[in-house]
Chains A and B, each alone.
Chain A
Amino acid sequence: MRFRVGSLLAVMVVSAAATLLAHHSVPGQFDVSKPMTLKGIISKVDWINPHIYVHLDVKDAGGTTNTWALATLPTAMMRRAGLTRETLQGKPGEEVTITAVPARDGSKHLGWINKITYADGHSFAPTGQ
């Protein structure tokens, strides 16, 4: 039995990264050097893979509302942290602050979420905080 366990552990050592998700990189799509802050109301969460999209209604200085589509991590990663579509969306009508980075291809109102801060101060940060 000792050898069987040893064999398994040796296997674990070499399997460190065999199944990481292959996907494009965030800097390949978004300009990580240009963080921005958006305030608005989350009108919809598209609970989809490979990236969830949060739709944020933001009023500009002239009173016009623009809806930003803001990408974040896949659903399985959210589930790992106990997050759901509902917890991500927050309370109805709640104003949130989102720091994000914009699309590199010039698409308007498209970005990647760095952090969402909800009205009561708690936050959700996909990567770092």
Chain B
Amino acid sequence: MNMTHRFLIPITALAMLATAGTALAQVAARAPDRGTVQQLQKLSAKPTPKLADGRVDFNGTWDHLGGIEFVRPVKRADGSICLIACGPAPGGAPPAPFPPVQTDFPKYKPELQAKVADLKKRQVELDSNLRCQAPGVPRIGPPAKIIQNAREVVFLYDDVNGAFFRIIPTDGRPHRKDVPASYLGDAIGRIEGDTLIVETVAFNEDTWLTDNGAFHTKDLKVTERFRRVGDTIEWRATVQDPAILVEPWSLKPQVMWITDIEVEEPARCEDRDVPHIIDGSHHDNPR
């Protein structure tokens, strides 16, 4: 445990104790069938595995609710199935209400507020994420699978927009100079103790950082930190784009946990909806 964690963890623990009742209820309401507090406690209490070379082992298939935790199927005896906002299961209590969406947004320079507002208004028209493109980083979120060897780690994503991957050298190689700008950028990584740190640059400007017009420039740099704790990983991401942001934007952290549900090849993405949308409204929740 490094010095930063010596101070941070007691603070977060105290904060958690202050809100423990609400927090536990929110977690349970969000994912009653997986990712419960009890499951996470058990998984995080396990020993953190290491590879033969002594480095922490990040290999595995990882669940992190995947953005569809509000899908809580209710199956009835006759085979009927309801997926979202269902009534109580036969003989069961009504499900707890889904907790309200907590939004988070980067802080843009004042002279760019109008541009962001305009992009937000025209999201359905402009957002490439609605047209089966790679979501970009950090919008794509944590990977579904991590494959690690002596020279690199590979991230695999099972995304509604497609199957995406990132290859991240961890042997000291610098960023490549000859790669074109891309949706998921050029990444390099290093392992410090229990944390894998990934720095990504060389993005194109077709993606947004999150919902609601959060554009970025080609100078975007994203730093992700994967801290393995037992059979869980804390995922944190920080965005730097100093030409347009007042300060670096740190996303709300997420927790990944090991799962035996293997990644599937996602179905083909083919948007047929956008041309028929009348008023441009969209789900007000970031990915």
Contacts and interface: CB of A to CB of B under 8 A. Distances in A.
Which among A15, A29, A75 has the greatest number of chain B C-beta atoms within 10 A? Answer: A15
Given A4-B9, A125-B80, A20 B15 contact: no
B66 A76 contact: yes
A121 B79 CA distance: 9
A47 B160 CA distance: 12
Interface in A26-81: 27-29, 46-51, 53, 69, 71, 73-81
A7 B287 contact: no
Interface residues of B, number: 86
A107 B275 CA distance: 11
A49 B282 contact: no
A23 B9 contact: no
Interface stretch (B22-30, B51-59, B182-190, B215-223): B22-30
A83 interface: yes
A12 B282 contact: no
Interface string B173-212: 0000000000000000000000000000000000000110
A8 B160 contact: no
Interface residues of A, number: 63
Given A11-B234, A125-B83, A128-B84, A18 B271 contact: no
Contact of A25 (B15, B251, B281): B281
B45 interface: yes
A4 B44 contact: yes
Contacts of A2: 13
Contact of A15 (B9, B73, B252, B277): B252
A22 B282 contact: yes
Contacts of B273: 24, 29, 50-51, 71
B141 interface: yes
B8 A127 contact: no
Interface string B91-118: 0000000010111100000000000000
B67 A50 contact: no
A22 B269 contact: no
A19 B278 contact: no
B277 A80 contact: no
Contact of B251 (A3, A18, A28, A126): A18
A122 B78 CA distance: 6
B173 to A, nearest CB: 30
Contacts of A53: 272
B84 to A, nearest CB: 5
Contacts of B102: 14, 16-18
B70 interface: yes
A70 B69 CA distance: 24
Contact of B9 (A6, A27, A28, A126): A6
Contacts of B41: 5, 9
Nearest to A71: B273
A51 B161 CA distance: 11
B271 A5 contact: no
B83 A127 contact: yes
A18 B281 contact: no
8 contacts: A8-B232, A14-B102, A19-B287, A21-B67, A22-B286, A49-B267, A50-B273, A73-B71
Interface of B: 8-10, 12-13, 15-17, 19, 23, 26-27, 30, 35, 37, 40-41, 44-45, 64-68, 70-71, 73, 75-76, 78-87, 99, 101-104, 124, 127, 129-130, 132, 139, 141, 158, 160-161, 210-211, 229-230, 232, 234, 251-255, 264, 266-274, 276-283, 285-287
